[in-house]
Homo-oligomer: A and B are copies of this chain.
């Protein structure tokens, strides 16, 4: 029953020639270049860190490898600085803009998972001591409070510091962190008050059952 018979609407950009497979990184690069006009790989690294990098980090090596790949597919144009470091400068092409537009227009909507390490640990907390669960909850609450503060600082930037769409995305991030903080703090409270029965009936199912 674990099979998902997803219709899988083959979301590959059909109108774009030679575009084999575009990953999230591809669209990140495409989007960043489109937004800024031009960018070197290093710029991409910085741009990403300042924007989506907050909730989705990419190894910087990816941001160096992806632009040439996209250039080869015709989605980016590449030029070089004349002097100095002779860095690669990328600019989006019409084909690139089309691929980006198609991605934005497609009703693809994969939905991702809640892969929080703390959540995995919590799921098995019954196997440890109750005190460990408290430690975990406190730690998670603190970590998420810190992350929340960082988002809030970012959100405090003036209105024209980021496009409306990014700001809106940031708001989901804010909500997410608040949810996490509330959740873990409530858990700390419940555990401290003994409101959660760590040994309610008989503990975990005995192996011999």
Contacts and interface: CB of A to CB of B under 8 A. Distances in A.
Contact of A113 (B27, B55, B101, B122): B55
A37 B166 contact: no
Contacts of A36: 205, 207
Given A116-B112, A205-B37, A206-B37, A169 B128 contact: no
B128 A104 contact: yes
A183 B187 contact: no
B124 A105 contact: no
Interface string A110-137: 1111111111111111111100110110
A208 interface: yes
Interface string A16-43: 0000000010011001001111100000
A125 B104 contact: yes
Interface residues of A, number: 85
A111 B144 contact: yes
Query: How often does this chain occur in the complex, in copies?
Result: 2
Interface of A: 1-2, 24, 27-28, 31, 34-38, 45-46, 49, 51-53, 55-57, 100-101, 103-105, 107-129, 132-133, 135-136, 139-140, 142-144, 147, 160, 163-166, 168-169, 171-173, 175-176, 179-180, 183, 187, 196-198, 200-201, 204-209
A52 B110 CA distance: 19
A172 to B, nearest CB: 5
A1 B46 CA distance: 9
Contacts of A111: 116-118, 140, 143-144, 147
Of the candidates A51, A110, A165, the one having the most CB atoms from chain B within 10 angstroms of its own CB is A165
Contacts of A105: 128-129, 132, 135
A120 B196 contact: no
